[in-house]
Amino acid sequence: MQLMTRQRSFTLGLATLAIALGLLVVSPGTAEAYPQFQFSTGNSTCTPCHFSPVGGGLIADWGRDEAGDSISRGGDGRFLHGLWVPPEWLALGVDLRLAGGGKSTDAENESLLFPMQGDVYLRGAYKDFSAYFASGACCSARDPEGDNGGVAKFYARAFHLMYRPESASYYVRAGRFYTPFGLRHQDHTMYVRRDNGQYLGEETFTLSGGYAGSDWDVHVGLFTPDPLQTDTRERSSGFSVLYENRLAEDNGSWGGHLKFDIADRNMKYTAGAIGKYWLASPGIMLLAELDGILETFDGAGDARLQTIAHLNATYFITTGVMVGATLEHFDSDVKINSTERDSFALTAQYFPRAHFEVMALARYELISDASHAAVGLLMLHYYL
């Protein structure tokens, strides 16, 4: 009986670890940006590589060329490796991921290998208007004992209609997407995303507009929970403003952001700063973000102040091989003891050819100076 209990617990442990690792890497690969490539690849703005004015999502022709020429060790970055060229008004994409890894906490050590992502992207354009859709797959590694089954669920993760004149730098778009905010890393488990309302599934119904010029960007967004997919995560409404000013030498930028969220039982006021700097020699890209979040509760306690600090450095050892280190700090209530956590992560990304990525991640997290969690992950990523 005890053996059965242990086996059941072990199975449950593996299943739950699958969820944990799934959460780590069911991140949209090309669906979100690699902000490390801004400046370091010679492009000072998001728009040459991405259709989205704030990066992320399907990559444009220029970005696909960069994938073959600057980032990876060759290859044809175009859709279907260039075997078929879609008409100019149409852009397509697919993301596939396979991951394996291990985790260690104070109580356990586990390992697992599993498939985890299959996303499809579609964009059509007519004159200055475009329509974009990205499917989302989530939770492919689900707890098999859950009454809701153990299969992947799909949802319309992002979609929008956008008006952006080709000859101008301003735009307006409306649909489901993250309101422009912060560094916008591709890894949703980073504190600057997870604890800032930009975790997986937290895209909102957003009306956004802005100016993305050569010297500076400004983006504003009004957002509310998705009324069509009420079971996804975002619950708040509000607005955000993001400003980014590029340096005269085109080797970095500084900026700031504000966000206001209101939900049924709480409100959040967020202010933060971002910095990006490309050290051409020795070739190190630095990214930094600091946020302060004042959260108030409706009759459920005093307000709390949260802080998030993020520092990321990446270095291209050679073409196609990028290594990085990330330090993060998050305190969910600065006035209370034992509510903080610190994370140190090392990454190595290998881009052998356009369309292919191998990523290794090792992350150590210290939780309120008392416990720890360590994760090692190897991910194979292919995008069409």
Residues 293-332 contacting other proteins, CB under 8 A: 295, 297, 299-302, 304, 307, 309-311, 329, 331-332
User: Of 98, 143, 207, 374, which lies in the binding site for other proteins, with binding defined by CB under 8 A?
Assistant: 143
Which contiguous run of DSSP H or E holds residue 154?
Answer: strand 153-163
Q: Select the residue interacting with other proteins from 113, 165, 168, 249 (CB under 8 A).
A: 249
Contact with other proteins (CB under 8 A): which of 16, 169, 224, 237? Answer: 16
d(CA 284, CA 253): 15
# binding residues, other proteins (CB under 8 A): 100
Instruction: Identify the sign of the CA torsion 139, 134, 181, 358.
Output: positive
> Shortest approach of other proteins to residue 226 CB, angstroms?
11
Radius of gyration of the chain (CA): 21
Examine residue 40 and tell whether it contacts other proteins (CB under 8 A): no
Kindly state the helix (H) or strand (E) to which residue 119 belongs, with its residue range: strand 109-126
22 contributes a contact to other proteins by CB under 8 A: yes
Answer for which of 155, 211, 356, 364 binds other proteins (CB under 8 A) is 155
Nearest-5° angle of CA 234, CA 152, CA 52? 50
Q: Interface with other proteins by CB under 8 A: which range of 74-82, 99-107, 167-175, 347-355?
A: 99-107
**Contact call for residue 215 and other proteins (CB under 8 A):** yes
Within 64-93, the residues that bind other proteins by CB under 8 A are: none
Residue 100 is encoded by which pair of tokens? Answer: 């394996």
Neighbours of 291 (CB within 10 A): 23
* Distance separating alpha carbons of residues 187 and 324, to the nearest angstrom: 13
| Closer Cβ to other proteins, 124 or 333, answer by number | 333
Site for other proteins in 335-354 (CB under 8 A): 335-341
Per DSSP, helices labelled H in 26-126 are 61-66
Could you tell me if 308 and 332 are in contact, meaning their C-beta atoms sit under 8 angstroms apart?
no
- Residues in 266-295 that interact with other proteins by CB under 8 A: 266, 273-277, 286, 288-290, 295
Closer to other proteins by Cβ: residue 106 or 166: 106
Q: Does 1 bind other proteins (CB under 8 A)?
A: no
Bridge-partner residues for 274, per DSSP? 255, 289
Q: How many CB atoms lie within 10 A of CB 300?
A: 8
Can you tell me which of 84, 166, 230, 281 binds other proteins, judged by CB under 8 A? 230
Asked if 268 and 261 touch (Cβ cutoff 8 Å), the reply is yes
Sole window of 80-88, 91-99, 134-142, 318-326 interacting with other proteins (rule: CB under 8 A)? 134-142
